[in-house]
Amino acid sequence: MIQMRPPNCYIYDIGSTNHTYVNDLKRGHYIKDAVELKDGSIIKAGRTYLKVQIIPEESKEAAGYRCVKCGRELKELEGKSPEELGAKDFICEECRKKGFLHIWIPEKEKEKRRLFGRKRRERAEKGEEAEQREERVISEEFAVKCLKCGRDVTKQANSNGRAAELKDVALYLCEDCALKERVEKEKAGDYILLRQIGIGGMGIVYKGWHKPSGMVVAIKELLPDKLMNEKSLKVFHREISITHDLIHPNIVHFYDSFTRKRKPCLITEYLPRGNAEEMLLKQGEPFTIEKACRIVLQILEGLSYAHERGIVHRDVKPQNILFDKDGRPKLSDMGLAKSFELAGQSGITSPGETGGTPLYMAPEQIIDFRFVKPPADLYSVGVCLYYFLTGKFPYHFPSPLDVLMGAIGLKEVKQPLAIVLEDEPIPILERKPDIPKPLASIIDRCLRKRQEERFRDGGELKGAISGV
């Protein structure tokens, strides 16, 4: 299998009997892992020899931009480099007029906001000065405390005027506590980098602190080795645009975006309780049925919201399910998301590319990454639920929990991409006989090879699990 991820190209041997050789053609020197191909590389497969020619992408393709909502070509952005652009630049004028933000607000919250607004109007009619009125409203409605020491930081928190809007989302630190945590020496605009908390395929993630408001944030910055790749910049800016457009309690909340030292940065809420993978490994055993279903049902709330707006996540996995201070799960990392209504039009994902994490990927995602639909996400959700309940993948391949517990068992395993494409999933009842049969049936349906045999979207799957 050849995987193209411009400017890089890789080859995998997914279990051929004759093995695959690259450049070193001596007997027994066949490739065992992914090998990067270069211009002029020689591939030997059986009695066939191939010489690789790599033709660089045309700069014209890299320069094209399209609206992330309707797909219209944004000719006004021609000649501009990605680092000059912000999230709203990727929305055309037509879509801006229509209103591109789809904000999910529960009915109870809507009523609270109406009451809040009515109280403000009443105070205004009494003739209070604006500043006094604002301070009184804030202090009466809620107080913001430092996450560490409990000091009142309400006035600082409202310095950007967003304290009320973010009262159920944002976390805050006073300056003393923030500086005690600081390990990094750099700044990013008004944000102080505290420490590195993660690294992924596209970016490095820091815990940060917004000095004017005292808000704790997560700062995702494009990896330095990706910086000069025009395509990577476009992918990252698309992530910013999509995250800006998705506002839901079960999707990580977007705050801001900017460019630092020619590196685009995405600022989101900070989730202090880690991810589902870490939670399961710390526990050292599978989740209970109640806990696993509770997590998945809430993630499906966010996923349904994205699907309704034409967005497929394409990288749903336990590491991308994060938990806020109250333990509510949220779907993170929209870096691989793309509007399926615009599939194949952005010029960002080329034919033959794959994205996501192999054992959580649906077969069609491996074959044609650009054109995946919501059922691909539901396959990934099915793998997550299977893993949460059994601690194992639905295939003969060691899971992180297997590795932790030393229960690997198999001396040799197939390449993950080959497993997903060729092997049938192991029915969950074979791994966990005590699971209710209706739930087992739902999970097995999520993992079917043919996407038309799975659930249509997040809403349909959520309804099925809720009905068990």
- Residue 62: its pLDDT value, please? 44
- C-alpha neighbours within 13 Å on the C-beta side of residue 395: 21
- Residue 254: its pLDDT value, please? 84
Q: Do the strands 246-247 and 102-103 form a parallel or antiparallel pair, or are they unpaired?
A: parallel
Contacts of 295 (CB under 8 A, 6+ apart): 276, 287, 321, 329, 388
Q: Which residue has the tokens 């059986």?
A: 46
* Region at 302 (left for phi over 0; alpha for psi -120 to 50; beta for the rest): alpha
Distance CA 65, CA 132 (A): 47
Question: What CATH number does domain 85-118+170-270 carry, 2.60.40.10, 3.30.710.10, 3.30.200.20, 2.60.120.260?
Answer: 3.30.200.20
Specify the CATH architecture of the domain 276-466: Orthogonal Bundle (1.10)
Distance CA 231, CA 264 (A): 13
Closest alpha carbon to 292 in 282, 279, 306, 305: 279
- Residue 47: its pLDDT value, please? 84
Closest alpha carbon to 90 in 100, 102, 104: 100
Closest alpha carbon to 328 in 106, 17, 21, 41: 106
pTM of the predicted model as reported, rounded to 2 decimal places? 0.76
Concerning whether 457 is annotated as a catalytic residue, the answer is no
User: Which candidate in 13, 256, 315, 333 is catalytic?
Assistant: 315
Neighbours of 30 (CB within 10 A): 17
* Region at 391 (left for phi over 0; alpha for psi -120 to 50; beta for the rest): left
Amino acid at position 416, single letter: P
Is the distance from CB of 365 to CB of 421 less than 8 angstroms? no
- Residue 123: its pLDDT value, please? 59
pLDDT, block means (10 residues), the chain with 468 residues: 71 80 84 84 89 70 62 79 63 69 50 57 58 50 86 89 82 95 86 89 85 93 62 65 79 82 82 94 96 97 90 90 94 64 43 66 86 92 97 92 73 79 95 96 96 92 93
Q: Where are the domains of the chain?
A: 2-51, 85-118+170-270, 119-169, 276-466
- Residue 374: its pLDDT value, please? 92
Is the distance from CB of 251 to CB of 307 less than 8 angstroms? no
